[in-house]
Amino acid sequence: MQDLTFLGIESSCDDTAAAVVRAERGAGQILASEVEGQVALHAAYGGVVPEIAARAHAEKLDHVIERALAAAGLGLDALDGIAVTAGPGLIGGVLSGVMLAKGLAAATGLPLVGVNHLAGHALTPRLTDGLAFPYLMLLVSGGHCQFLVVKGAAEFHRLGGTIDDAPGEAFDKTARLLGLGQPGGPLVEAEAIRGDPARFHFPRPLLDRPGCDMSFSGLKTALLRARDGLIAAQGGLHVQDRADLCAGFQLAVTEVLAEKTRRALQQYRALNPAVPALAVAGGVAANRLIRERLQAVCAETGATFVAPPLRLCTDNAAMIAWAGIERFRQGGSDGMGLSARPRWPLDQAAPAMLGSGRKGAKA
């Protein structure tokens, strides 16, 4: 197998990222991975503002790429190709990355490979753990939530996903409702540690229905009602109320994810994989309770649990470089006609997802 070194570029949401990845005899090595977030730029607006994100990507991308190449100790002449996120995501940001990648490819004559951002997440366990196909992937972040059977570098089968909000989005909204900061996930988790998860009972949406689809938007309405009930009854929220609300909310999300994962594993195991494995990706996979419960579901069913390091679970460009290498090895590459796609489901045969996340329609 030919050794390949790729530059990866990611700008589909609120992280401007560049990375250099080398694949030697099939195994991946990250030579550099630079990520520049935009949390401060969007802080005043309570969510990612697409125009601000796009402008920041356009301003920062070339610096971030220079930093990645310098950290890898390589020049453009040492590369075998350029991989760039071509969707799905916020179109202005995706365009910034695609245009820059085209410019670099035109100037250097290097192959240009457009990558689906979700394929980047889904193929990460092969970069970090050398996981063989097929495996089950749970993508769970602020913008995505879906179960995918990853059968090959370009072969994905979606078993189900959220029909409205992504879980990270629900954590962020909960934090906002309770006056905590952003991103909300880690802050809600910290509150929940001191809380009683049994005091408030929040709904477990869609558990009564078969299949692996999920819904999280009703949870925030339930939380809002519980919060307003307390405020009406006692004039405000006590410290313990907030902790109990967070604990109840976190447990509801966790139980939905655990039960739907159990079902997804059942469907996936029917394919008789040699080594049944569940891999997770996305910021929500950082949550300790969620991780523990998913691990327990895997232990119950004899599946291996694979969780890449957090910096590679969240948005980064190493996953884009790696997915580009995998696609290139299969003969895939694009010319100057490569276009940016706001929507780009991995499984083209699956019915369209109904919802779209805070960070834009994903897939």
Footprint of Zn ion (CB under 5 A)? 315
CB 146 within 8 A of CB 161: yes
Instruction: Give the separation between CA 22 and CA 147, rounded to whole angstroms.
Output: 28
Output 143 or 160, the one with its CB closest to ligand KG4: 143
In 3D space, the residue among 297, 208, 219, 279 whose CA is nearest the CA of residue 251 turns out to be 219
Contact predicate 278/263, CB 8 Å: no
Q: Considering the complex, what minimum distance in angstroms separates the CB of residue 216 from ligand KG4?
A: 11
Strand partners, 23: 4, 28
Binding-site partner at residue 303 among ligand KG4, Zn ion, none, CB < 5 to 8 Å by type: none
Q: Are strands 304-306 and 145-152 parallel, antiparallel or unpaired?
A: unpaired
> For residues 189 and 244, which CB has a smaller minimum distance to ligand KG4 in the complex?
189
* 35 touches, from Zn ion, ligand KG4, none (C-beta below 5 to 8 Å by class): none
Angle, alpha carbons 268-275-266 (nearest 5°): 20
Q: How far is the CB of 185 from ligand KG4 (least distance, A)?
A: 2
- Which of the choices Zn ion, ligand KG4, none does residue 161 contact, using the CB cut-off of 5 to 8 A by kind? none
Only one residue has tokens 């489901």, namely 345
Nearest CB to Zn ion, comparing residues 111 and 125: 125
Residue 93 interacts, among Zn ion, ligand KG4, none and using kind-specific CB cut-offs from 5 to 8 Å, with none
Residue 265 token pair: 């594993």
Comparing CB distances to ligand KG4, the nearer of 48 and 110 is 48
Least separation, in Å, of the C-beta of 287 and ligand KG4? 3
Taking CB atoms, the residue at the shortest distance from ligand KG4 is 185
Query: Toward ligand KG4, which CB reaches closer, 14 or 334?
Result: 14
**Residue recorded with tokens 């902790």:** 243
What are the C-alpha distances in Å from 230 to residues 237, 240, 243?
7, 12, 13
For residues 119 and 273, what is the distance between their CA atoms, to the nearest angstrom?
20
- Least gap, CB of 309 to Zn ion (angstroms): 15
Lookup: tokens for 173: 């909204």
Least distance to ligand KG4, CB of residue 278, Å = 17
Contact partner at residue 283 from ligand KG4, Zn ion, none, CB < 5 to 8 Å by partner kind: ligand KG4
**Residue (60 or 102) nearer to ligand KG4, CB:** 60
- CB 227, CB 178: distance < 8 Å: yes
Q: Which does 286 bind (CB under 5 to 8 A by kind): Zn ion, ligand KG4, none?
A: ligand KG4
Nearest approach, Cβ of residue 314 and ligand KG4 (Å): 3
In the list Zn ion, ligand KG4, none, the entry touching 104 (Cβ below 5 to 8 angstroms by class) is none
d(CA 19, CA 9): 7
Indicate which of ligand KG4, Zn ion, none lies near residue 195 (CB less than 5 to 8 Å, by partner kind): none
DSSP conformational letter for 345: -
Question: Would strands 112-116 and 81-87 be described as parallel, antiparallel, or unpaired?
Answer: parallel
Least distance (Å) between residue 301 CB and Zn ion: 27
Least gap, CB of 121 to ligand KG4 (angstroms) = 8
Local structure of residue 277 (DSSP, 8 states): E
Nearer to ligand KG4, 194 or 238 (CB): 194
CB under 5 to 8 A by kind: which of Zn ion, ligand KG4, none does 314 bind?
ligand KG4
Q: Residue numbers of the site for ligand KG4 (CB under 6 A)?
A: 13, 141-143, 168-169, 171-172, 183-186, 189, 282-284, 286-287, 314-315, 359
Separation between Cα atoms, residue 38 and residue 1, nearest integer Å: 38
Residue nearest to Zn ion as judged by C-beta position: 315
Sheet hosting strand 155-161, strand order edge to edge: 155-161, 145-152, 135-140, 277-281, 304-306
The minimum distance between CB 226 and ligand KG4, in angstroms, equals 19
